[in-house]
Structures are given as structure tokens and as C-alpha cells.
């Protein structure tokens, strides 16, 4: 019997990437097959994003393009754009179904012949790291963010289910597992609020786990992999979680991505952020004091409505005093449907661009300073690519690292006529020998 050809495409965050892979693997198990190069697909699944208006435009443009490339395909649209603008999505060429709620993915898969829904995924394409979604939903309601409107429900996966999926992925050779969620720090909150959820999770080793409890259970797994946490709020990082990272330096990456957004308390209040600059700084100082050379990365929005030059400078000073190793800088973009879009005193585009450029310049200096602080240190690196004897990977502290002919000098036969045969996809210790901008140079141990 001819198997139906499938193409999946993703826009947006790590959670979207995970959910697309889940759908893909489930459909493959039901007899579909990935479309070959140059072949047209019969079913196209597009996972969309709506975090900005540009994301909506990209989603629509992508769907139209895929309709042209696969003129006989049925196109199924899922994701946050599908949830927010289902009528627009349904009107696009060849769209036969719009999944407005990702909790209904299981019903869609059953209609496609997937009768035994998988517990999770066991591959992540050709990557060497795999994302594991453990939580969904956000109800915080920051003034600039549309996501609580399209993912308002809180849903945490049972511990035993997460452990099963990680076992599957590590058995397939993945050496880095990235825990991710729409609001990762809210893992387990719904267990407390929903007695039914608790009763259904009695088989878990913990009846009411929070994020630190989940991490502690993962660390009990006997497999050669490291764990990385995706974005967190500083107020959600418990002393227990910091202690786990400190006491398991080779198992948990000493890297925290803490969403700061602004260093001005007035702007944070206008943003409806839960934390303020003082507690944020204190949490960063705690992490750096307890975990040697911890990497702290963050997100910052510049040009929020009403932001003055003085308030922007507050953000720059706080970032410099903390010493972030990387800052993602976003000029404020008004999102239709959010409180911030209707605020007075919108900042002119030229001012936002100037402030963004200035913070990016300072962030580059901070990143290079942090990189230089690692000179002579031993880092754990996951090697992912190679070219002409040069091997490139990601350190536990989230910097790019390369090693080159030092591999042969150490007498390690890692290169064959067909390419690298031992180092790619592996965790190896590397001593930092130099810094080239943001990239580290090193030698294998």
C-alpha cells in the first residue's frame, strides 16, 4: 500500500518545535512518510506563531508558499496564529483544517489513523539536542504579550511521562535534553489547583512536584546526557533548584536564562511584570555566588511606551552590573490586542532603534568579557558540526566552542576519509585556550 506523503513546518518557539515533532512521529507511526526532496506532499502540517504581527504575516506567507509547492496537498494549520485568527487561517489556500486548541491534537491524530498516541517523541530530526515539553500555558498577563490569550490553560506533564520520553531520547543517542514550556517555572502549578489531575498522577514518584522536584527525578536516570533549562522568571528559581545545579555540574548546565525585560521599576510596573529590579539583581547575585562562572542570559525590551532615556540607562546599568553572558534585545513592537498597544507615549521607531543598537553594543562587550573569564577553564561541550578538521559545539555555559588540529596532536584518531566518526554528537571536556570574539577556542581533554 502506498504511504501518504507528509511535510511538517514550524514557526516560533521551542514548544512549537517539540509539538511539530510529536505530530510528525505520530503520523509516521500510522503509515505516513516524510516527503522526499522534489516530491509533492499530500498532507502538510504547519505549526504557526503569533507572538508579533510579523509572526502572523510570516505564518500566512508560509502557508501560501507551501500551497504553491504542494498543489494537491491538504494543509492543516495549528499553533498560536491558528488559535488567535482561525478564520484567517481557514481562508488561506488549501487549508482543510485549523486546530484552534493544541489540546485537540490527539483528536486530529486519531482522525488520521493514529490509534495509539505516543507518550512522547524519540527523535528530534538531525539535531544533537532534543527539546522536551513539560508544561503548557501562561496566565501571568504581561502588558505586551499576546500568549496568555492563545494559551491560557496551565497543563503540566506527569513526571513518569517526562522520564519515559527522556529515556527514549537518550536511548537514541541524544546527549542534551532541554526542558521547555510556555511558562516553564509554572511546572506543577496545575497539580495543586486540579485535584483530578493529582488523582490521575498517583503513579508519579512525587504527588505534587514543582520544577525542582522534576529535575531531581530526571537526575536519577542512568544515562549519559546533560540537562538544560529554558527560559525562567527569576522569582520562580528556588533555592532547591540552584542547589541542584550547583551539586550536579556535569549533569545540569550552569546556565540560567532569566527574563529581565527592563531595569526600570517604573517600566516593569507598566509592563505588569511580577518582579522588580532589586529582587532580580539579588537572584542573579545568589546564582553567581553559589555556582562558579554561571552563565546568565536574558531578554530585554527597549522603547516600551513611556520609557525615558534615564529609564533606558537604568536597564543598561543593571545589565552591566549583573554581567550577562548574552542579551536578546527586542525593540518594543505594539501587539494588537494587548494592553501595551493602547498605551500613550509610544516611542518613535528611530529612538527604539537607537536604544536597541546601544544595548546590543554593550551586550557584545559583556559577552566577550564573560568569554574571556573562562580562559583556562574546563568546559563540557556538545559537538554538533564539523568542517575541514574544525569541530564546533556548544558549551554547558551556552557559548560556541571550536577545537581543531589539537585533536590529532593528542593522538586521537577522530577523522576518517568519510568525516568525523567519534566526536560529533558527543559530550567532551575541553580546556579553553583562547577567545575569538564571542567564540571560544579549546583543546580536547
Summarize pLDDT for 27-39 with one digit per residue, the tens. 999 999 999 999 9
Tell me whether strands 5-10 and 439-444 are parallel, antiparallel or unpaired.
Answer: unpaired
Summarize pLDDT for 373-423 with one digit per residue, the tens. 999 999 999 999 988 778 999 999 999 999 985 554 444 444 433 344 578
Q: What is the DSSP letter of 2?
A: P
Summarize pLDDT for 311-370 with one digit per residue, the tens. 999 999 999 999 999 999 999 999 999 999 999 999 999 999 999 999 999 999 999 999
Tell me whether strands 419-420 and 400-403 are parallel, antiparallel or unpaired.
Answer: unpaired
Task: Taking residues 211-235, report their average pLDDT.
Answer: 96
**Is residue 64 helix, strand or coil?**
helix
Angstrom distance (rounded) from CA 391 to CA 403: 5
Domains of the chain with CATH codes:
5-111 (3.40.50.12160), 126-253 (3.30.750.210), 257-373 (3.30.750.200), 378-444 (2.40.50.140)
**Is residue 296 helix, strand or coil?**
strand
Its pTM surpasses 0.85: yes
Amino acid at each position: 500500500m502506498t504511504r501518504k506523503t507528509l511535510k511538517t513546518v514550524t514557526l516560533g518557539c521551542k514548544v512549537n518545535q517539540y509539538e511539530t515533532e510529536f505530530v510528525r512521529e505520530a503520523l509516521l507511526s500510522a503509515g505516513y512518510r516524510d516527503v522526499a526532496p522534489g516530491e509533492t506532499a499530500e498532507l502538510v502540517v504547519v505549526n504557526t506563531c503569533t507572538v508579533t504581527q510579523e509572526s502572523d504575516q510570516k505564518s500566512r506567507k508560509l502557508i501560501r508558499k507551501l500551497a504553491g509547492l504542494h498543489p494537491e496537498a491538504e494543509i492543516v494549520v495549528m499553533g498560536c496564529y491558528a488559535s488567535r485568527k482561525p478564520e484567517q487561517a481557514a481562508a488561506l489556500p488549501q487549508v482543510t483544517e485549523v486546530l484552534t486548541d493544541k489540546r485537540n491534537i490527539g483528536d486530529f491524530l486519531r482522525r488520521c489513523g493514529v490509534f495509539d498516541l505516543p507518550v512522547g517523541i524519540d527523535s528530534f530530526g538531525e539535531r544533537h539536542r532534543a527539546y522536551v515539553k513539560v508544561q503548557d500555558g501562561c496566565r501571568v498577563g504581561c502588558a505586551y504579550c499576546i500568549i496568555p490569550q492563545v494559551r491560557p490553560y496551565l497543563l503540566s506533564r506527569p513526571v513518569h511521562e517526562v522520564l519515559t520520553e527522556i529515556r527514549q531520547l537518550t536511548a537514541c543517542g541524544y546527549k542534551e535534553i532541554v526542558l521547555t514550556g510556555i511558562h516553564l517555572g509554572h511546572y506543577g502549578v496545575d497539580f495543586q489547583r486540579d485535584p483530578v489531575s493529582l488523582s490521575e498522577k498517583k503513579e508519579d514518584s512525587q504527588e505534587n512536584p514543582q520544577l525542582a522536584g522534576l529535575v531531581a527525578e530526571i537526575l536519577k536516570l542512568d544515562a549519559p546526557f546533560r540537562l538544560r533549562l529554558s527560559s525562567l522568571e527569576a522569582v520562580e528559581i528556588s533555592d532547591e533548584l540552584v542547589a541542584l545545579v550547583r551539586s550536579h555540574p556535569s549533569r545540569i548546565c550552569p546556565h540560567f536564562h532569566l527574563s529581565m525585560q527592563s531595569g526600570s521599576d517604573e517600566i516593569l510596573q507598566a509592563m505588569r511584570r511580577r518582579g522588580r529590579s532589586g529582587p532580580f539583581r539579588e537572584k542573579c547575585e545568589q546564582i553567581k555566588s553559589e555556582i562558579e562562572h554561571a552563565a546568565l542570559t536574558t531578554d530585554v525590551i527597549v522603547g516600551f511606551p513611556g520609557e525615558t532615556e534615564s529609564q533606558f540607562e537604568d536597564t543598561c546599568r543593571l545589565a552591566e552590573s549583573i554581567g550577562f553572558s548574552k542579551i536578546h534585545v527586542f525593540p518594543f513592537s505594539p501587539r494588537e490586542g494587548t494592553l501595551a498597544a493602547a498605551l500613550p507615549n509610544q516611542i518613535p521607531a528611530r529612538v527604539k532603534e537607537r536604544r536597541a543598537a546601544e544595548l546590543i553594543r554593550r551586550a557584545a562587550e559583556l559577552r566577550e568579557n564573560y568569554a574571556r573569564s573562562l580562559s583556562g577553564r574546563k568546559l563540557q561541550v556538545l559537538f554538533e558540526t564539523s568542517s575541514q578538521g574544525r569541530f564546533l559545539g556548544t558549551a554547558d555555559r551556552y557559548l560556541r566552542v571550536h577545537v581543531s588540529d589539537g585533536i590529532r596532536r593528542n593522538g586521537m584518531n577522530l577523522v576518517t576519509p568519510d568525516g568525523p566518526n567519534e566526536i560529533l554528537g558527543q559530550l567532551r571536556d575541553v580546556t579553553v585556550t583562547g577567545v575569538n570574539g564571542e567564540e571560544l577556542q579549546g583543546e580536547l581533554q
